[in-house]
Amino acid sequence: MTVKNSNKIAMITGATAGIGKATALKFAAANFNLIITGRRAELLDDLSKKIIKDYGVKVYCMQLDVRIKEDVEIQINKFSEDWKKIDVLVNNAGLAVGLGTIQQGEIDDWERMIDTNIKGLLYVSRAVMPIMIANGYGHIVNIGSIAGREVYPNGNVYCGTKAAVDSITRGMRIDLVKHGIKVSLIEPGAVETEFSIVRFKGDKERADNVYKGFSPLFAQDIADAVYYVCSLPAHVNINDMLIVPTAQASATIIEKKL
Ligand code: NDP
Ligand code: 8X3
């Protein structure tokens, strides 16, 4: 598939739901061609069809589990020269699994979070950064969390993965500054997506309770922020942006009217 030169390209990991999907739609509306990734191929296909129909941009669907290092490398290295002209990479794929003490923790849950949120982000970045360096331009936006700034009870490992995303983002910025490539971190507070359903392993009632009694952020709010950060003049970079619902004063203090 040939990409029109006039369109910029944004690659978004975890675009099948929530923040990633909203970000894909936001960039498509701004006339970006898109590389969208996620494990659920059918959802990628549905999103791709909607974007092509509504916005007329090109979409490259990449069914990808970011935890599988070899697959990340193979799939990104086979981009055509046109698709290698990546302007924006949004490292969004991520999840929390479980909420509990370390002493009673499910080690499989920890591994899913560490492998996705930290190692997956690194694998994708490792494959895309040389492409951006060769191009001489690019912008990487990592999706961290308020949980990377503040550890809350039972959040331990998830909070640790997001603190790691913060540190890795700072490291990337140091590595890439000489190449003129921007690196930003967006740290959302409570956003109502599939996040809590995944965290509570399909327990929808428990997930819904997280967002009861206040107005959480919508995925679209974060997508708008990602797009804003990416639409600033070449000489301006936003390093870090913490975005919370008005009712959220900290990771643990949410004013609920129940
Ligand atoms: P969702 O569960 O709605 O979306 C998560 C996305 O990540 C899905 O598209 C999912 O796709 C993808 N994903 C998960 N695991 C993998 C994997 N191994 N390989 C590839 N893709 C994967 O949650 P959100 O949109 O809320 O989460 C997006 C990001 O925002 C995460 O990094 C999360 O930690 C962060 N965040 C969320 C907050 C919230 O309150 N919702 C607050 C702060 C940060 P698929 O299942 O198809 O693979
Ligand atoms: C998601 C927000 O507070 O549930 O990162 O960790 S929180």
Tokens of 141: 């936006």
Contact predicate 58/33, CB 8 Å? yes
Q: What order do you get walking across the sheet with 9-12 strand by strand?
A: 59-63, 33-38, 9-12, 88-91, 139-143, 182-188, 240-243
Q: Which CATH number fits domain 9-243: 3.30.390.30, 2.140.10.30, 3.40.50.720, 3.40.50.2300?
A: 3.40.50.720
Buried b / exposed e over 175-211, threshold 16 CB at 10 Å, is ebeeeebbbbbbbbbbbbbebbbbbbeeeeeebeebb
Q: What is the CA radius of gyration of the chain?
A: 18
**What pLDDT shows up at residue 76?**
98
**What pLDDT shows up at residue 110?**
98
Q: Does the beta carbon of 155 lie inside 6 Å of ligand 1?
A: no
Q: How far is the CA of 196 from the centre of ligand 1 (A)?
A: 10
CA atoms within 13 A on the CB side of 222: 33
Separation CA 92–CA 99 (nearest Å): 21
Q: Does the beta carbon of 169 lie inside 6 Å of ligand 1?
A: no
Per-residue model confidence as pLDDT tens digits over 16-29: 999 999 999 999 99
pLDDT confidence of 4, banded at 50, 70, 90? low
How is the chain split into domains, by residue range?
Answer: 9-243
Task: Report which DSSP code applies to 258.
Answer: -
Measured from CB, residues less than 6 Å from any atom of ligand 2 are 145-147, 155, 190, 251
Per-residue model confidence as pLDDT tens digits over 57-108: 999 999 999 999 999 999 999 999 999 999 999 999 999 999 999 999 999 9
Atom of ligand 2 nearest to the CA of 159: 6
